[in-house]
Structure 1
């Protein structure tokens, strides 16, 4: 999936958000799709929201309704049972940073930058940034990034745990493909169930997680992937899941 308005550095506008949501919902329903990759065309991943479209007065109700629609996109990424990779090819600022944070993996090019300069516009971070950022980098670092508006480079983002790893831009597509191919070879049912439980883990008690694990494992025990995994272990070979 490619954000494709390079002339605006892929600023998120209403049409782009609706098209992304439609594409994600289609991918969710397509059994042939095992992994989703989100990237940007041109020299940016996503420069944030379309500020030109915000150049008008909003009532509190209108502003809330606007953001609730945007929230559907983040909920879809979080809730879908497919793993999602953000291939950050350049600046990921504001809403663009938070779109990447919603993904399960972030691979960044060395040219990538990240930031939360919402305060410069008198806004709070959105698209789930106030949820995902502290979970990735910790509460203190999240406050630092949000309240100082600083823009950090890819290596600093890797150091603080905001991204999974950094690669040269020329290697980005190759490395993303390698990861996607590895994930595709994994057990789709188990991966999807584990993603959901992990995403709920920080709001759950140990008892709740143990119960969710038990339910998920019961489903996995009935799957062909489990049977193949056991056979492969006993035959001392790599499993061929989903074949």
Structure 2
């Protein structure tokens, strides 16, 4: 992951050979990059990916090698993926996702917890966790029902289907879609607008909006981590990972 710090902190996933999949180390680095933002020094954060993908979510090969107990999985999820969501949602400056390509799994979750998201027309989105026997994480279970609605959240979470950028915009998962070759310009226009606004006040507005949703993000993230740590210990997860790595369709018993 590359981090270019200026008035806009630019964070770029730089593992295009694996579609910018996230390891636990990458998630920790991302959480750290979202933790020390100061409206006096930063106007916004920009998150994007190298190559043709925004992020394919969790690194499946890393999952296959992982050996941990359910309590260990809980602690890892809370301190990595959960911390990314918590820091994004509580950041005192706006978070902008420039979705240059597919945003799947935790990649889609990151789009959801960002304050703005602009997507290339070619981008696709999916809460694909169920395809490897897992529960949506990185804040997805807390924010997606509020953002795109309960039924659509269940449809995406229970089926793992992909949707195109146009449908993502219709659902309010992204603010806008633009031709691929216009994405940089459109996001640049937004960042110029944000530079002209009082950043500290944006942070206060963001805090008020989130507080007034009526539920604690912290409680939601704890519940999410609890269920995800349970999912890591299921046969479905083991089957999903094995099927992915061997290029076959998973055979889930239930």
- The alignment's TM-score, normalised by the length of structure 1, stands at 0.80
Q: Is residue 16 of structure 1 aligned with residue 26 of structure 2?
A: yes
1:202 to 196, 204, 213: 213
Higher relative contact order (CA 8 A, sep 6+): 2
**Separation in 2, partners of 1:120, 1:189:** 41
Structure 2 residue runs without a partner (length 5+): 1-10, 216-254
Deviation at 1:58, TM superposition (A): 2.6
1: CA distance, partners of 2:20 / 2:171: 25
Report if aligned partners of 2:119, 2:174 keep a CA contact under 8 Å in 1.
yes
| Cα deviation code 1:123-163 (max 9, x no counterpart) | 11000000111111110111111112110000011112211
Q: Secondary structure at the match of 2:184?
A: helix
Deviation of 1:14 (Å): 2.2
Partner of 1:218: none
Give the equivalent residue in structure 1 for 2:73: 63
Are 2:121 and 1:139 equivalent residues in the alignment?
A: no
Deviation at 1:185, TM superposition (A): 0.6
SS at match of 1:29: coil
CA distance in 2, matches of 1:137, 1:58: 33
Whole-angstrom distance in 2 between the partners of 1:123 and 1:58: 15
Tell me what 1:51 maps to.
Answer: 60
Cα deviation for residue 36 of structure 1 reads: 0.7
Aligned length: 203
Structure 2 distance, partners of 1:189, 1:36, is: 14
Following superposition, which runs of at least 4 residues in structure 1 exceed 4 angstroms of deviation? none
What are structure 1's unaligned runs of at least 5 residues?
205-243
C-alpha separation in 2, matches of 1:81 and 1:30:
7
**What's the TM-score, normalizing by structure 2?**
0.77
Q: Quick one: distance in 2 between partners of 1:113 and 1:33?
A: 30
Q: Is the 8 A contact 2:38 2:93 kept in 1?
A: no
Query: What is the rounded CA distance, in whole Å, between the counterparts of 1:137 and 1:19 in structure 2?
Result: 28
Give the whole-Å Cα distance in 1 for the aligned partners of 2:120 and 2:71: 39
Could you tell me which residue of structure 2 aligns to residue 160 of structure 1? 171
For residues 36 and 52 of structure 1, the distance between their equivalents in structure 2, rounded to whole angstroms, comes to: 29
- Looking at structure 2, the residues matched to 83 and 175 of structure 1 have their Cα atoms a distance apart, in angstroms, of 16
Q: Residue 30 of structure 1: CA displacement?
A: 6.5
Aligned residue number for residue 236 of structure 1:
none
